[in-house]
Amino acid sequence: MKLYYDLHLHSCLSPCGSDEMTPADLAAMCALAGLDVVALTDHNTCGNCAAFCQAARERGVLALAGMELCTQEDIHVVCLFSDPEQAAPFAAYVAECLPPIPNDPAVFGRQLYMDGGDNILGEEERLLAGSTSIPLEEVPALVSSFGGFAFPAHIDRPSFSLLGVLGLWDPTLGFQLAELSHNCPPEFVRRPDLAGLRFVTDSDAHYLDQVWGAEHSMDLPERSPQAVLNWLSGAGPVRFT
């Protein structure tokens, strides 16, 4: 079955995310945009995933729990899990790898925990947007050990990306595919070091108006989180178009 996806979305828990990106409002926008499969990937946390997955389910949208991990090298990696319960141990591990730097809401924005009804449950005081102590080379195996799947985020961007930091794609790192940003030029994927690599394209939306419509799709045998993870790992075709 053909399902339209966006696997890189932020909520108001990300310091750079708009306060309007509440779990329920984000889920409603995804449904309005015609998306079938989505994932919440706040910076270094899965704290709003349970609320988002609940809100998405109520609106008929399949949602995965996720995180945009910032590695030791300041490289962003999307980490996806089938549900919030599976993601929770990984999130706890990452929390131990974050430096104790306080968030400054006036500079970085508020970091709001919310429930599925968009009630504020609390505010994260530690800055979530910084780099963790987790090295990039450990990420694929680490995320897999918690039952998830990881891929480098927006590799076509000059900052916070694998290519922006390392300069070249290194296949020995063990990543099976990479993410391109929505405005990636078509010629980018013809780089010699990217030959044979598989791609997904996501919005990395931090504001409601950045959630785009049904454009990128996956073909799944069934509508389930595990089918999505299997597709990403190579059980289904994942090509740049």
Q: Cα 157–158–164 angle (5° rounding)?
A: 105
Is pLDDT at 237 greater than 80 in this prediction?
no
| CATH code for the part of the protein at 2-169+181-235 | 3.20.20.140
Res. 240 pLDDT band, cuts 50 70 90: very low
pTM of whole model > 0.75? yes
CB atoms within 10 A of CB 204: 20
Res. 116 pLDDT band, cuts 50 70 90: confident
Res. 156 pLDDT band, cuts 50 70 90: very high
pLDDT digits (tens, 9 = 90+) for 213-223: 899 999 999 99
Looking at residues 153-173, what average pLDDT do you find? 96
Tokens of 24: 């329920």
β-pair type (120-123, 149-152)? unpaired
Structural domain boundaries of the chain? 2-169+181-235
Q: Which residues of 99-117 are buried (b: 16+ CB within 10 A; e: fewer)?
A: eeeebeeeeebebbbbbbe
